[in-house]
């Protein structure tokens, strides 16, 4: 089974390296649907996996100066308490079908939202694009920081339950709230926040006993070369076409999980 988990890590790593999309949106449902891993263990293991694998990207962004630590701090002001409160809620729930059903339903909805945004990313960006005056007004608004904290609350709770949401969904929120920020700084900040929140949520799941450490090691063995190879492949292929393929896969996986959760 170690080899099978490494294969899953390789596949997801290829997707992440080639398109920047995938991560928890693919890893957790793959573990549940194809490997028969319980939702609680799949989420807990994927959270630790995500915090480790994303940390390498944060190091690169930090060296390139494409990180806004103030923005990470405002998001964390909401996400860290939300993650801790969600962990308390999960600790109080008896392990069994009800908890698995909650995780499956939340995960399915998060995957579908991620897939839809990825498919229509260009259209959405065109709709939310602001004039210089509008962008200036948003950046100067007294509501910007409170809304950033609120976004952190939503992401913290969503990630802790499903392991999905810190990437594409978090980035979408930042693009709306920070139209004047260079996109690369938003990407780096979103990634740094993702590492923090997945590490906290993962530690909480580990205290629940819902992290499979041997499986985590096998996933990382496959994922690290997968990300490297996928990045090289991504340079040679059409990124928009690749994202559409991944998005279609996410919609299929999310729809399948939603159907299973509802029946």
At residue 127, the pLDDT reads 64
Q: Name the stretches of the chain with pLDDT < 70.
A: 1, 17-23, 121-140, 231, 234-235, 237-240, 242-243, 263
Q: pLDDT by residue (tens digit) across 112-155?
A: 888 777 777 666 666 666 666 666 666 667 788 899 999 999 99
At residue 126, the pLDDT reads 67
At residue 52, the pLDDT reads 86
Residue partners of 68: CB distance under 8 A and separation at least 6? 181, 185, 186, 188, 189
Concatenated DSSP letters of 82-114: HHHHHHHHHHHSPSSHHHHHHHHHHHHHHHHHH
């Amino acid at each position: 089974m170690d080899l099978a988990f490494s294969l899953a890590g390789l596949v997801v790593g290829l997707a992440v390296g080639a398109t920047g999309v995938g991560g928890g949106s693919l890893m957790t449902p793959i573990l549940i649907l194809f490997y028969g891993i319980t939702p609680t263990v799949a989420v807990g293991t994927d959270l630790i996996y995500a915090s480790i694998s994303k940390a390498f990207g944060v190091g690169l962004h930090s060296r390139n100066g494409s990180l806004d630590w103030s923005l990470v701090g405002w998001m964390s002001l909401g996400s860290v308490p939300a993650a801790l409160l969600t962990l308390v809620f999960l600790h109080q729930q008896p392990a069994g079908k009800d908890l698995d059903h909650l995780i499956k339903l939340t995960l399915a909805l998060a995957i579908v939202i991620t897939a839809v945004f990825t498919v229509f990313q260009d259209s959405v960006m065109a709709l939310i694009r602001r004039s210089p005056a509008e962008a200036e007004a948003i950046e100067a608004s007294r509501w910007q920081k409170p809304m950033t904290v609120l976004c952190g609350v939503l992401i913290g709770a969503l990630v802790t339950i499903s392991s999905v949401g810190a990437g594409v969904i978090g980035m979408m929120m930042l693009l709306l709230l920070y139209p004047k920020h260079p996109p690369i700084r938003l990407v780096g900040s979103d990634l740094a926040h993702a590492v923090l929140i997945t590490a906290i949520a993962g530690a909480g799941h580990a205290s629940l006993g819902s992290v499979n450490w041997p499986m985590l090691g096998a996933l990382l063995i496959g994922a690290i070369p997968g990300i490297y190879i996928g990045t090289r492949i991504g340079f040679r292929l059409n990124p928009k076409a690749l994202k559409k393929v991944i998005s279609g896969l996410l919609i299929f996986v999310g729809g399948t999980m939603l159907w299973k959760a509802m029946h």
